[in-house]
Amino acid sequence: MAGDVAVIIPTLRRPDGLRDALRSVFAQQSVGDRVAQVVVVDNDPTGSARDVVQSLQAGTPWPLTYVHAPIPGVATARNAGLAACEAPLIAFLDDDEVAAPGWLAALLEGQKQTVADVVFGPITGRAPSAEPWLQPYLERFFGRQGPATTQVIDQPWGCGNSLMVRATALPGPAPFNTASDQAGGEDDALFAALSARGGRFGWAADAWVEEFAPPHRATLRYALARAFAYGQGPSQTAAAARDWAGVMRWMVIGAAQAVVWGTTAVAMTIMQAPRRAEMYDRTARGAGKLFWMKGFEPHFYGARELARLEKAEV
């Protein structure tokens, strides 16, 4: 089948990361003529990624499409990328990720083997600017490990480094909920709905990418805020489904986790144990299950991220 997959890369003022991500996509091997299109969605109101895309237009192995989505937001960017292509299979790569040469072929093979609606691949986290004691934790945090073999899995991961069957996993013209534009979690809601419909998730063990954490993210404060947001996911998903018994169950679990892991974290901090960051992470995830309500969501994307970038440029 010719041209049945599109690669979508949302981006917000990361010219170097975007350039590296695109070059890694263009270096993909063993995919023949299956790539219909590579779509870059520029989520910067000023259109700052246009020059990067234009500089790489010549000599690309597949059509490269530039889309400007000027309202900052992660869900808005993903929806805009989908609107710009018609391929039945959609691969998502983030602008801080670099794909191995066999990445896309492995995702396609993983989908073929598992017959899954969404297939995920492993991620090697990189945090070169992190403090030495934090680096192992942060590289695990930004990474993703799964089964050693390609297979069906029970739980989904995040959109970065994934392949989706459009007809079943991405229904409608705007499948990502734009209410998640600032805080993220748009993929959690999408996959929860897919699971409720009887959807199938798969793992492609050889579909490797590297994810590079920039200095402002390679910190304990940022990682714990993300861990708190990840913890909120189960409670928020249950609340969205009006499963109030499920909400209460997750809150009780979260409270227990926060107490147990928080106590352990205090002890490990006193001892200056190298792995104390892991306990901080577990405590934050427990607290997130407990404090899932509106007003507690950390904001990592959209207008908040753009404001941070503009402040850094001054």
User: In sequence order, which residues have a C-beta less than 8 Å from that of residue 7 and are 6 or more positions away?
Assistant: 25, 35, 37, 38, 39, 91, 92, 93, 104
Mean pLDDT score, 52-81: 95
Q: How far is CA 197 from CA 94, 171, 235, 247, 287, in A?
A: 27, 11, 19, 20, 29
**pTM check: above 0.85:** yes
| Confidence grade of residue 26 (pLDDT, cut at 50, 70, 90) | very high
Quote the pLDDT of residue 38.
Answer: 98
Mean pLDDT score, 104-133: 97
Counting other chains too, the contacts that 192-197 makes at CB distance below 8 Å and 24 or more residues apart are 192/237, 192/240, 192/241, 194/117, 194/118, 194/156, 194/168, 194/169, 195/156, 196/241, 197/168
Right CATH for 5-212 from 1.10.3720.10, 2.30.29.30, 3.90.550.10, 3.40.50.460? 3.90.550.10
Per-residue pLDDT at 162 exceeds 50 = yes
Helices (H) and strands (E) in the chain, counts: 11, 11
Q: What are phi and psi of 140, to 5 degrees?
A: -70, -40
Mean pLDDT score, 202-227: 94
| Confidence grade of residue 132 (pLDDT, cut at 50, 70, 90) | very high
Per-residue pLDDT at 312 exceeds 80 = no
Q: How far is CA 223 from CA 122, 137, 140, 180, 284, in A?
A: 19, 9, 11, 19, 10
> What six digits make up the tokens of 165?
């069957």
Quote the pLDDT of residue 181.
Answer: 83
| Confidence grade of residue 1 (pLDDT, cut at 50, 70, 90) | very low
User: In sequence order, which residues have a C-beta less than 8 Å from that of residue 46 and are 6 or more positions away?
Assistant: none
Quote the pLDDT of residue 300.
Answer: 66
